[in-house]
Amino acid sequence: METLRGIVVLIHLVGFAVLFGAWVVEWVNGKRGITRLMNWGLAIAGAAGLVLAAPWGIEYDLNYAKIGTKLVILIVIGALLGIGAGRQRKTGSVPAAIFWSIGILTLANAAIAVLWR
């Protein structure tokens, strides 16, 4: 059970890496757009996160305030990805505030995961 949970955490981290990595690529190459990889990363992190939100394979209590906060932030990131992609389709670019919020909120969720004990 513990090993299985470890594998789901690994999948969760892959989702984070895909989402944040795809965002960093767009930042560094100067396009600052929204790509399909970001949606994939969010879906993978979200699905694995929900599985991890249930108390199995652990001997300690889960911090549900922390998990709830992460879920809210994930939903906001999803909304921003949707709105930003719509704007990108119509105008060819994503508003800077939306692009930056996606990266910062993704990093914030990872920070909450690691720092909030």
Interhelix angle 36-52/64-91, rounded to 10 degrees, is: 160
Q: Is 5 in the site for ligand HEM (CB under 6 A)?
A: yes
Contacts of ligand HEM in 25-54 (CB under 6 A): 45-46, 49-50, 52-53
Q: Is 67 in the site for ligand HEM (CB under 6 A)?
A: yes
Q: Is 102 in the site for ligand HEM (CB under 6 A)?
A: no
The residue from 16, 34, 81, 102 that contacts ligand HEM (CB under 6 A) is: 16
